[in-house]
A and B are shown apart, each in its own frame.
Chain A
């Protein structure tokens, strides 16, 4: 049997994360770090980090980082990129950050074809504030602010944000992936690579929405959470590449 040596990507610091057991935020950090190493981008990269469970990501990433206000990452990234086009500019945002409070900033960065890459962690919930309803919360899903289960008549439908962005001419690459199994993890890595390549090639805005777990606020075990992604989320949020130019 061939063995592979575990090497920590240079783009990741040798430290522990604060994420809950079974949370896949950490896996996504690792994927992004591996991609930056492999594409030799660490020294040009800047992560613009939104507010949510990932808001301490600058302590885990080993490259330039900016912490910004809830939802505003695409606007900050726009300022970064316009002022310094050499920087490979990545926003790292939760679903609440990107599809609720920051929907205007994200949509308009896409409309402008801003040469930045957004990574949106969709865990169908507001994790950091303790499990409230998000625009991505599934119909019937119980959260602390939808205690009787989310009802479409009251709260609307789960937003398919990446599809909406893909409709915009300024978008060069738009995909939805998941990190619930090895196959999907590898596809996520490939998608992030393509998204960054689209930015480097100056083609426009790129986004990868990644279905991610929140066992703590879903109230399930880490193992069940992976199944929850597959059985509950993927049917509502289909995986795939929606745009590639």
Chain B
């Protein structure tokens, strides 16, 4: 199949359908509404169900119900809506059900603005809801990658019985790019734990309720072992020219597109620069940094006041100097802004390191 021109949000929806997702529960919120609109049009054509819930709270609980029956199911929202979904996401993680949640981030806090931002990183990767749980978080930076990661998201969700979040922003959802769509997935995994009616078997129970502390601790131990396995096996990132770089950019999603442009411009000027682009935000690709950052300068670029940079700090383990550049409020930084900071760092000008004046 050749390439077709697709808007990010619609490409995500089409990729989900081709990955076997037959159920979508949503609630409109800019800038992701096109995911829902596309699903509303397409799902009835493939024998699926699109349902517009009365709120995000309901939508994620409908996802819970459909996932409990063993179906592939997705919901999509944007920052304020995802905040409302956190209760349900915690329950889904606790009940170990697979589902895909798309968060097309916009500016916050509060109602904020509808333009692109990356200020929900903490919420996405550190839990968001209550309890010791983790979502797998995938961060595409192009429409093609979004399509590929949606397919991966459904597979990972089923494999680990865990929610998987696709974390994008308004740029990803609204941009149009030529893409290659995946083939339709026909064979889906068996789910003997699902709620299907108890004929010829014992009762199945889906629950996150463990009133006896020792029982719950055992569940948390088991979940933690699963999370450890995910950390070991699922770290994904893209890198370029890291080993001999003097300055390494670290950025994901839309910021990474800007960082890539900056890398290219600087290389044309003969500078030694590289890039690490995390694709999984949880598990954070610590392997990309392990024992390779000594003596390097690291510039983290985000559309936030600095969130992923904290994970970079943990991964770098004091080997290199960390710098940060971020814009917020829905402003996408220009390549020139980033270049200016990078050049100042390369020229040993007095650029503040990340967290340098925090202790004062």
Q: Which residues of A contact B (CB under 8 A)?
A: 42-46, 48, 55-56, 58, 61-69, 72, 75-84, 86-87, 104-105, 108
Q: How far is the CA of A66 from the CA of B61 in the complex (A)?
A: 12
Q: Which residue of A lies closest to B55 (CB)?
A: A104
Chain B hits for A62, CB < 8 A: 198, 203
Asked if B45 is at the interface of the complex by the 8 Å CB criterion, the answer is no
Are A65 and B205 in touch, CB under 8 angstroms?
yes
Per-position binary interface string of chain B over residues 29-71, scored 1 when its CB falls under 8 Å from any chain A CB and 0 otherwise: 0000000000000000000010101110111011111111111
Question: What are some 17 contacts across the A-B interface (CB < 8 A)?
Answer: A46-B197, A48-B65, A56-B209, A62-B203, A64-B195, A64-B197, A66-B65, A67-B206, A72-B57, A75-B64, A76-B61, A76-B65, A79-B73, A82-B23, A82-B65, A87-B195, A108-B53
Asked if B284 is at the interface of the complex by the 8 Å CB criterion, the answer is no
Contacts known (A72-B88, A104-B55); A83 close to B61, Cβ less than 8 A: no
Are A82 and B197 in touch, CB under 8 angstroms?
no
Q: How far is the CA of A228 from the CA of B306 in the complex (A)?
A: 60
Are A82 and B68 in touch, CB under 8 angstroms?
no
Interface size class of B (residues with CB under 8 A): 35 or more
Chain A hits for B69, CB < 8 A: 79-80, 83-84, 87
Chain B hits for A46, CB < 8 A: 195, 197
Q: How far is the CA of A43 from the CA of B203 in the complex (A)?
A: 9
Give which listed residue, B62, B68, B91, B211, contacts A69 with CB less than 8 A. Answer: B91
Are B57 and A42 in touch, CB under 8 angstroms?
no
Contacts known (A75-B61, A104-B58); A80 close to B195, Cβ less than 8 A: yes
Are A80 and B204 in touch, CB under 8 angstroms?
no
Q: How far is the CA of A98 from the CA of B243 in the complex (A)?
A: 59
Chain A hits for B57, CB < 8 A: 72, 75, 104-105
B 314-333 contacts with A by CB, 8 A: none
Asked if B208 is at the interface of the complex by the 8 Å CB criterion, the answer is yes
Chain A hits for B73, CB < 8 A: 79, 83
Q: Which residue of A lies closest to B208 (CB)?
A: A67
Chain B hits for A72, CB < 8 A: 57-58, 61, 64, 88
Give which listed residue, A45, A63, A69, contacts B61 with CB less than 8 A. Answer: A69
Contacts known (A46-B197, A69-B61); A79 close to B23, Cβ less than 8 A: yes
